[in-house]
Amino acid sequence: MPYAAFAALAGAVLAGAVLAGGGLGLAAGCGGPQVQPTRGVIETDVDGWSFRRYQSVLDVEVWVRDNRAVAHTASYAHKEAEKRGHLSDEDVVNAFVTRYQAELGVERALVQFVRRLASESGYRVEEREVGGVRLVEIRGAGEVWAMWPAARHVVKIGGPGRESIPAALVQAYGERYPSRLRPGALEAPLPGAAARGKRGP
């Protein structure tokens, strides 16, 4: 999803103090959650996808009041397309992992964020499960993304020109960042108590 659209809406999302540890932790995989990467994203090949590049991002899309964060991104290319020597939009996936200092407000901020995408920017948002991970699918402007809250993190996977969400990558990230998205979160009352404030640095 274009940075401009995300950043404009992120600046309008004000998340206050909420109950810590809220939400349901859903561990994907038999052994529970795997170790989280030091730099947030998976910097190795994943089940048919080649890791291509890492980058740190200064702009945090889902802002949480009084909860500093840093974003990390990775790009992946489909191995079969690499062998053919031609990559289309459908053969490239981007992953964003935003890491917060604390758990406070993360789920609430994400729910507010995707609701505003639907109401103000015309994106279609839908709660679903992919690769065993409960997430929000976001479609619009020729793009498709999956987003979900995890403990102290927000994960976003997808890209422009895509028609589907890559289940293998979602599952791999879900094993490291189990979803805390509550069933029915898009329609239910926001978790925690709202508080007004201004966007911080």
Question: pLDDT for 61-79, tens place per residue?
Answer: 999 999 999 999 999 999 9
Residue 52 has pLDDT above 90, yes or no: yes
| Cα 154 from Cα 109, distance rounded (Å) | 10
Mean pLDDT of 138-151: 96
- State both tokens at 94: 């981007």
pTM of the complete model: 0.79
Contact 176, 38 (CB under 8 A): no
Radius of gyration of the chain from Cα atoms?
A: 16
Residues 6+ apart with CB under 8 A from 93: 49, 75, 76, 157, 158, 159, 162, 166, 169
Q: How far is 66 from 108, CA to CA, in rounded Å?
A: 14
* Whether residue 185 has pLDDT greater than 60: yes
How far is residue 126's CA from residue 146's CA, in Å, rounded to a whole number?
10
pLDDT category of residue 82 using cuts at 50, 70 and 90: very high
The share of the chain scoring above pLDDT 70, in percent, equals 79
What secondary structure letter does DSSP report for 46?
A: B
Task: Give the pLDDT mean for 40-47.
Answer: 97
For residue 95, the SS3 value is strand
Percent of the chain with pLDDT over 90: 73
Q: Is the pLDDT of residue 119 over 70?
A: yes
- 11, 35, 40, 75, 107 from 112: Cα distances, Å: 12, 28, 23, 26, 9
Q: In this structure, are residues 18 and 193 in contact, taking their beta carbons and an 8 Å threshold?
A: yes
Q: How many helices (H) and strands (E) does the chain have?
A: 4, 7
Nearest of 119, 117, 171 to residue 144 by alpha carbon: 117
**Fold held by 3-16+25-176:** Protein Transport Mog1p; Chain A (3.40.1000)
Rounded Cα–Cα distance for residues 185 and 201 (Å): 28
pLDDT tens track for 16-42: 322 223 332 333 334 556 899 999 999
**What value does the mean pLDDT take over residues 128-151?**
96
The pLDDT value recorded for residue 191 is 79
Mean pLDDT, the chain, integer: 83
Q: Answer whether 149's CB lies under 8 Å from 180's CB.
A: yes
- pLDDT, residue 3, reads 37
- Eight-state DSSP code of residue 89: G
